[in-house]
Structure 1
C-alpha cells in the first residue's frame, strides 16, 4: 500500500532517508507490560509456492506466532495478518487485539506474509521470482493456514475465525472475508486501503489538510519554499545553493525522474510526520519550521536536515542502485515496491491542489521507477490493468461484505481509499476525527480522545456480539 505507513514507527516503518516510497505501513508499536510471564510461541507451516498450479509442487516454510494463554474452549481463532514487515511477538502480548482476544477466550495467531521476514518462498528477489508475491497467493496462504490449524489443533475445529489487519494487512483482512467467507467469519480493518488506485493524489491532499489545520502559516512557508526552490533549480548557481542547503549527497540532478525524486523526498518527510502523528506532533514540527531563521527555503531546509541527522539526502540513481540487487536482505523495500508496481498502485503523487509541494512529482516519475527496478514491462499500462483487476475481483470502494468493521482517521493520509461510511448493520465504518494511522489498534487509554475511545469500545462490543451470534 505506498502508500500505502511506519506503519508505525512501529513494527514496519523503515526510516531510510531519501526514499520516494518511505514505508508507512504496519501495526502501531505495542508496549508490553513489564513482568508479563506468558510468551508467544513460534511455528512454521509448509505452503505451496504457487497455490494455483497443481503441477507446481514446490513448497516453502511460512512462519507464524501463536499464544493460547487466553484461550477457552469454544473460543475464536484470532489472527493478526502480517503485511510488508517482519512479524514480532509483542502484538500477541498486549494491545487492542490482545484485549479483544482475551475478552472472548480467543486463540491468537500472527501470520507472516510470504517474502517478508523469514518467510521466503524463493532463493532471491529477482523479478521473475517475485511473480508469486501477490495478494491472491497471500490470501491462499491464509486459507490453507486456517484449514491447517483447524485440522491440527483439536480444540479449534469449530472455532469462529476473526482476522485483523493494519494498513496493507487490513486490505488482506477485507479481501479474505470477501474471497473466503466459509473460512473467515469476521474481519476488522484498521486504516485499511480497500480501493486500489493508480494515482493516489488524495494522499498528499490529506497531508496538506493536516499541516494547514495545525498551522496555516506553516503550510504557506512550505508552499512558498517549494515554489522558490523550483525557480532556483533553473540555474547552476541555484542548484548549488539548494544542494548545499538540503545537504544532498550529490549535486541535485534536475532531469527527470531525479528532480521529482528530490521534491518527493521533501514531501515524504511531512507524510511520515502526519501519518503517525500523536497529539501535538504536527504543531511541534511546524513550530520548528516557523521559528527557524532565514528565508522560507532556509527554514524548510533546516527542518529537513534535522530529520536526516548526520546523513545526506540521496539521489534517485542511488535509490535505484540500492533496490535493484536481488539478494534477500533485512530491508524489504524492494518487495513492497514490486507489489505496488505489479498490482496495487497507490502512487502518492503531487496532483492534489490541497498540498504545499507544488506539482513536483507526477505519476510518470513513479512508473519510471517501476521500470528501472523491475523491467520495461512494469510501466503505467501494466499497473493500471492490475489495479482495475484488483478492484473488479475485490469490490473496490464498495465491497459486498458482512461482519466487517473498518476504522479510518482524519489524520491518516490513507483514509481516502478506505471504507468511510456504514453500508448496512454488519458492514460498519468508523471515521475518527484527528486519529492517525491504526491508532485504534492500541488498548483503550486515558490519552485517547473521546471519539477514539468510543470507537475502540464500539469495535470490541461489536466483535463480541458477532462472535456470540455466530457461535
Structure 2
C-alpha cells in the first residue's frame, strides 16, 4: 500500500528527527533521563465544549531554561512524539542556545492522543479530525499552559506537515504565537501532486534509465492485460503477492522516493551513500535496453525490500496492499487527513512530461483507496482549503522557512510553483519572507541534530534561523498587545 501509507512512513521517519547517541552529547542532554511524559486535558470538540476531553501527550525539557527566555513548542504532526524531539534534534540545539524551554506535544489522533472514538470512520472523524481542531488544541495549550509561564514568547517549530502547523498557528493565533520556524512545509494543498515525481527525478543522475524502464517495459506490460506477463513482472520485483496492479505500480517507486526524500550523506565510511549506490548499478549496465534496465531495477528493488525487512508476503501486503489496512492506527489517521483535506496524491506526470512511476498511478487510484477506507468520503476540496489557510503565496509575519533544494515536497512550499505561479512570483515570494534554500537539501534535514557531515549550506541555514529569531526577539516591544 505504498502511496499514502508510504507517505505516512516517511513523515514518521523524518519527524522523529534522526537522533544521535546520548553518550556523544553529554552537555546538551544532561538530565534527559528525568524527562517523562505528561498529559493535558484537551477538548474533544472545541466548538462543542460539552463533548468532553481526552488526554493529549506532551514532553517538557527545562534543562537550559532561564526565566524570560522563549518557549519552543513543536509537534511531530502525523506521528507519535518522543522525548528526542526536545533533547536530540535541530530544534533542541537551537532552543538551548536561547536558554529556551522546549515542549513537544502530540497531534490529536496520533500516538497516545486519541479522542475516544470506537473506529476511525468518516462519521466519527469528519468533525473532530481536522486542521481547525488541531490548531485549536495547540492554541488552548498555549493559552492555558500547565505550570508554564504564560507571559513568555512562544515559538512554534515544525517540519513537513508540522511545519504547516507552525505557519498556520502564527497566522491564526498571532496573539499566542510570537514566531514560527517551518522546515519543508508543503503549505499548498493539491490533489494532483505530480510534481513530486518530477522532483524525485531531478535528484537522480540515473533518472533516464528508470524512465526508460517504466515507459518502455513496465507500462506496456501493465497496459497489455496479459495476466501471465503481468504476474511475471510482479515476480521479477518480488511483489507477486500484490494482486492489485495499481498497488504494485505504486509500490515500485517507494524506495526511490524514500531515498531522495530522506537523503543524507553517510556519517561513517561503513554507511552506503544511497543515491550514488543506486545509480551505479545502472551506470554499469551492459546495455540500455529497457528489459535490461528493468532487470537491474528489480534486483536493486529486492535489495531495498530486504533492507526494510519486507521479506515475507504478509509484510509486503501490510506495506503496500490497499486491502491490508487496519482501521485504528496512525497510518489510517493520516489517510483521513489526505483524503479529507490535503490531497497530496503522488500521481504520474502526464505526457509530454517524463515519469518515474507508472501511468496507472493516477487520481482514480488514490480516490479508490480513500473510498475503501472511508466509505462516503468526498474528494478533498483543496481549493476551499487553500482559501482558508492561504496556500504558499503571501507574506508570513515572523515566520522562518527553511527549504531543501532536492526535497520532493518543495513544489508545495513558498519556493514552489505547483500552484502554477511564474518564476518571478516565486522569487518575489521568497524575497518577501524569511526563507533559506538549503543547497542539495532533503526533507526537513535541518531538524536533525547537527553532525560533522553537515554541508556548508545546512550549517548556514541553522545560523540563519538563530540570527533571524534573535532579530525577532530583539525588536520585540514588550508593551505590545500582540505577542
Q: Which category of TM-score, normalised to the shorter sequence, fits these structures? A: 0.7 to 0.9
Aligned partners of 2:188 and 2:412 also within 8 Å: yes
1:438 paired with 2:444, answer yes
Aligned partners of 1:5 and 1:12 also within 8 Å: no
| Superposed displacement of residue 354, structure 1 | 4.2
1:346 to 344, 347, 363: 344
What residue is the counterpart of 1:222 in the other structure? 210
Structure 2 length normalisation: TM-score?
0.84
What residue is the counterpart of 1:42 in the other structure? 37
| Superposed displacement of residue 388, structure 1 | 1.7
2: CA distance, partners of 1:57 / 1:338: 21
Alignment of 1:345-364 (within 5 A): 345-351=343-349, 353-364=353-364
Unaligned runs of 5+ in 1: 14-24
| Superposed displacement of residue 231, structure 1 | 2.4
2: CA distance, partners of 1:95 / 1:81: 12
What residue is the counterpart of 1:467 in the other structure? 473
What residue is the counterpart of 2:424 in the other structure? none
| Superposed displacement of residue 423, structure 1 | 4.2
1:26 to 7, 10, 15: 15
1:322 to 321, 324, 331: 324
2: CA distance, partners of 1:281 / 1:3: 23
What residue is the counterpart of 1:457 in the other structure? 463
Alignment of 1:268-279 (within 5 A): 268-279=254-265
What residue is the counterpart of 1:19 in the other structure? none
What residue is the counterpart of 1:239 in the other structure? 230
Aligned partners of 1:5 and 1:437 also within 8 Å: no
Mark the CA change 1:317 to 1:80 in structure 2 (over 3 Å): closer, same or farther. closer
1:63 to 51, 57, 63: 57
2: CA distance, partners of 1:5 / 1:259: 17
Aligned partners of 2:199 and 2:407 also within 8 Å: yes
Aligned partners of 2:188 and 2:392 also within 8 Å: yes
User: Number of residues paired by the alignment?
Assistant: 435
Aligned partners of 1:63 and 1:112 also within 8 Å: yes
Alignment of 1:62-461 (within 5 A): 62-127=56-121, 128-131=123-126, 132-149=128-145, 152-153=146-147, 156-211=149-204, 215=205, 218-226=206-214, 227-233=216-222, 234=224, 235-250=226-241, 253=243, 258-279=244-265, 280-291=273-284, 295-309=292-306, 310-312=311-313, 314=316, 319-323=321-325, 325-326=326-327, 328-329=328-329, 332-351=330-349, 353-375=353-375, 377-380=376-379, 383=380, 385=381, 387-420=382-415, 421=427, 423=429, 427-461=433-467
Aligned partners of 2:30 and 2:63 also within 8 Å: no
Mark the CA change 1:3 to 1:242 in structure 2 (over 3 Å): closer, same or farther. closer
Structure 1 length normalisation: TM-score?
0.86
Unaligned runs of 5+ in 2: 266-272, 416-426, 479-483
2: CA distance, partners of 1:405 / 1:109: 19
Q: CA RMSD in A?
A: 2.5
2: CA distance, partners of 1:260 / 1:316: 15
